[in-house]
Amino acid sequence: MPLSPPLENDAQNLHQQTETTRREISSGLEEVLYQEFPVLDHGFVRVIDYMGNDNAIVQAARVSYGKGTKRKTEDRGLIHYLLRHSHTTPFEMCEIKFHIKMPLFVARQWLRHRTANVNEYSARYSIMDKEFYIPSPEHLAVQSSINRQGRGETLSPEYSRYVMDLLRDDAEQVYGHYEELLNEDGAGNIINPEKECLTRELARTNLSLNFYTQMYWKIDLHNLMHFLTLRADPHAQYEIRAYADVMIKLLEQWVPITYEAFLQYRKEGARLSKNAMDTVKKLLKGQGATQEESGMSKREWQEFTEMLDLPC
């Protein structure tokens, strides 16, 4: 939904203004504060507030007062150590607040993460704007034959055009009915000569899940990294992954040292089961290994061999 002019103007003005402060800041994040980063066809992510930086994590870990006398290289080593060994509390000392615009079906996935504070646009009080998500052809695919919640091969060009037209026509139709039920202009019609209007909380039930909503989402750094680990994964649904990819770039600007450790130990690292670790040890010793001997299921064995780029 397009932002109302006052809110959009506020965001632009806030992005341009500067203030003095006694607290430590993140210079990288200050540069993009309130800036809108487009996602999908009508969505966006913007940072509207934050607390803490890499130094705040170090201070919390050392329970020190002020910056201390440690060198930057030691700070980097400490942050890497904390994340490598899952010492999560110091990362909870940093928080960030986003303003996000996304399709309703993405929001429903998003809100499965219950470790944040959320305030979503209310269609009980306000009218939803006529903006809905239509996937581009390269993201239209058949149901995966091996993953019940994933996508397989892309659709043929002919069928893709048909699907896009169908989705667009359906969204146009339900929004037209939504406007008719609201009857905001008081025009009425032959069926509704009394010019009655249905309450907004009921009229919204006719809208489809590809319509856009907005929310403020505040989360600490530890739980943000958990969210990004799951939602930026190649197996995550493309639409929510597109938001996660933008937010990872903002993570880099906010806490660059923590970002390094996040890539190393979370996003591009891996966790191994005991059976998988035992198999790795055998392989390093030049011994053979099979799925039957490993104690792993066929699914786990496939994931294991793909992870290490081994022949199945």
Instruction: Tell me the catalytic residues.
Output: 231
Integer Cα distance of 44 and 154 in angstroms: 26
Rounded to the nearest 10°, the torsion over CA 147, 153, 158, 161 is 60
DSSP string, 244-295: HHHHHHHHHHH-HHHHHHHIIIIIS-----HHHHHHHHHHHTT----HHHHT
Integer Cα distance of 23 and 52 in angstroms: 9
Q: Are the C-beta atoms of residues 54 and 79 closer than 8 Å to each other? A: yes
Q: Are the C-beta atoms of residues 80 and 264 closer than 8 Å to each other? A: yes
| Nearest CA-CA partner of 177 in 194, 191, 164 | 191
Residue positions counted in the chain: 312
Give the amino acid at 228: L
DSSP string, 85-110: TT--GGGGG-EEEEEEEEEHHHHHHH
Residue with tokens 């009508």: 42
107 three-class SS: helix
Q: Could you tell me the end-to-end alpha-carbon distance of the chain, in angstroms, rounded to an integer?
A: 48
